[in-house]
Structure 1
Amino acid sequence: MNSTKHISSLQNALIKNVLVLKDKSRERKKTGSFLLEGIREFELALKGNYSIETIFYAEDLFSETKIEALIASLSPQPELISVSKEVYQKIAYRETTEGIIAIAKAKVHQLSELKFKNKNPLILIAEAPEKPGNIGALLRTADAANLDAVIIANPKTDLYNPNIIRSSVGCVFTNAIAMGNTTEIIAFLKQNNINIFCAALTASKVYTHVSYKTSAAIVVGTEATGLSNEWLENATQNIIIPMEGEIDSMNVSVSAAIVIFEAKRQRSL
């Protein structure tokens, strides 16, 4: 084992710092660190090449043998700290958990560093998403469709918010994600010859009447305000999902999924 340190006091300075890291976006941005909780999220973070700084584990929930197996290949080795049940319950975000919480280093997610897996990438862009649950659902959709990237324009929510990590089921760690403002993202897309398909109510074609077989970005806005005019003015084509009920919009993650899997269907033909 890398450490035999044990913490049983809620007044411990490190535990107090962990609580601030859990609750405050400002602290996450200041330190460049965040918390992840649970074995699945931990393993996905490792798969996404995240650096793990510290691991807290509850001895009655997670054995030393499991810890040793998880960190065997890590270099440098994270600090290991066993905590009492009371301390663990205090720092845990979920009501039901698996006994492991880690402090990890956040990534920068610069647009300039974004690399595509395919020559004709299919990417998802979300402008100004705010609700962590929606962001998590969008990331799960991107993972399910094996998209080349997700780009968040004009982000309003900390990507490492515990609610995003939880609702994405750890997909936040394995998707290729970049962030930027709308203007620079549009410039990036045009520079890389990526067609822009904006979900919109006006000047739109039915989403099934458009070809997504070449490089394509599917762009969605918020349910309340939709996309900004800058996106609509620079779109290759605005697209729409026909509605047959009384309302004219759906949850953003549902709308994105419908269009994304139509694009995937076309590309498989």
Structure 2
Amino acid sequence: MKNISSLQNPFIKNLFKLQEKSRERKKQGLFIIEGQREIMLAFNGGYTIENILIAKDIYQEKEQLEEALSVIPTIEISKEIYDKLAYRNSTEGIIAVVKTKNTTLKDLKLPSENPVVLVMEGIEKPGNVGAMLRTADAANVDAVFLADPKSDLYNPNIIRSSVGCVFTNTIITDSSENIINYLKEQKINIYSATLQNSNVYHAEDYTKPTAIVVGTEATGLTQIWREQATQNINIPMQGEIDSMNVSVACAILIFETKRQRNFLN
């Protein structure tokens, strides 16, 4: 097993770039994962893992990772390197270098004839993206679309806040215009969460092919989603404010959709 102990090692210095810069992740087609659960989810999700890095002083091998470790080049790193690379203290001394996966609209094959999909338009906060990916996984939606995203999918904070659900969902990144065209071609009804010209969310029928669309908390959805929607929907507020965290709103809408379908698909 190769051993690296210097922070100045060129390979390690490049990993710091991947952690810090979206530009480098896109340019190199690589990103960093930390933690056994997340690495295993990526491995099972068909991601190509280039290298495994282990801090021997911290790492305790688990049986479910044995298969991955047996076929992937593994490098032992010093605790100093690990501490500088890791975002969390609880990631068990293991980090992976992984190839990005680019699924396009033309490659997408929805697994259901009556799909439920989630669209996030221009969400700015990685924590909100991660939380909504967790909801999408919990509800077993058929696909997630990131429309005009403000942060790249492999931002460490998205991976961390999604607890690995980046790797369990089918995720497409594209422009709002292209995603809307796709949804209409597939005859998927578009329900845009917005206050303008909207009905209360629970009055709508989500038992047919459905896309739930949410936007930023600050400005909401852009005009194209409001105008192209099958129906705009809102969640009634009874307090002093007129909005809630977008990930909470997303969960309410997605699980209402699943409730109407009795969670059968």
Pick the TM interval, shorter chain.
Answer: over 0.9
Aligned residues of 1:52 and 1:103 also touching (Cα < 8 A): yes
Aligned residues of 2:40 and 2:65 also touching (Cα < 8 A): no
Distance 2:227 2:86 in 1: 45
2:13 corresponds to: 16
Correspondences of 1:1-269 after superposition (within 5 Å): 4-63=1-60, 69-71=66-68, 77-268=71-262
Aligned residues of 2:206 and 2:260 also touching (Cα < 8 A): yes
C-alpha deviation, 1:72, in angstroms: 5.7
Aligned residues of 1:114 and 1:177 also touching (Cα < 8 A): no
In structure 2, give the amino acid aligned to 1:42. Answer: I
Distance 1:158 1:187 in 2: 22
Distance 1:40 1:262 in 2: 29
Distance 1:204 1:27 in 2: 41
Distance 1:255 1:67 in 2: 35
Aligned residues of 1:135 and 1:164 also touching (Cα < 8 A): yes
Q: Secondary structure at 2:160's aligned position in 1?
A: helix
In structure 2, give the amino acid aligned to 1:62. Answer: Y
Which digits, 9 at most, give the CA deviation of each residue in 1:150-208, with x for residues without a partner? 10111110110000000000000110000111111110000000000011112111111
Runs of 4+ in 1 over 6 A off after TM superposition: none
Which digits, 9 at most, give the CA deviation of each residue in 1:92-113, with x for residues without a partner? 1213320100100001131221
Distance 2:198 2:169 in 1: 29
C-alpha deviation, 1:62, in angstroms: 1.9
Any gaps of 5 or more consecutive residues in structure 1?
Answer: none
Q: Secondary structure at 1:88's aligned position in 2?
A: helix
Q: Kindly tell me: are residues 72 and 218 of structure 1, through their superposed partners in 2, closer, same or farther at Cα, counting changes over 3 Å?
A: same
C-alpha deviation, 1:63, in angstroms: 4.6
Q: Secondary structure at 1:26's aligned position in 2?
A: helix
In structure 2, give the amino acid aligned to 1:159. Answer: L
C-alpha deviation, 1:61, in angstroms: 1.9
Any gaps of 5 or more consecutive residues in structure 2?
Answer: none
CA RMSD of aligned residues (A): 1.6
Q: Kindly tell me: are residues 201 and 78 of structure 1, through their superposed partners in 2, closer, same or farther at Cα, counting changes over 3 Å?
A: same
Distance 1:54 1:127 in 2: 33
In structure 1, give the amino acid aligned to 2:92. Answer: E
Q: Secondary structure at 1:189's aligned position in 2?
A: helix
C-alpha deviation, 1:141, in angstroms: 0.5
Distance 1:68 1:223 in 2: 39
Q: Kindly tell me: are residues 61 and 254 of structure 1, through their superposed partners in 2, closer, same or farther at Cα, counting changes over 3 Å?
A: same
C-alpha deviation, 1:46, in angstroms: 0.9
Aligned residues of 1:127 and 1:220 also touching (Cα < 8 A): yes
Indicate the percent of aligned positions where both proteins have the same amino acid.
Answer: 58
Tell me the TM-score normalized by structure 2. Answer: 0.95
Distance 2:114 2:150 in 1: 29
Which digits, 9 at most, give the CA deviation of each residue in 1:206-236, with x for residues without a partner? 1110000010000011111111111111111
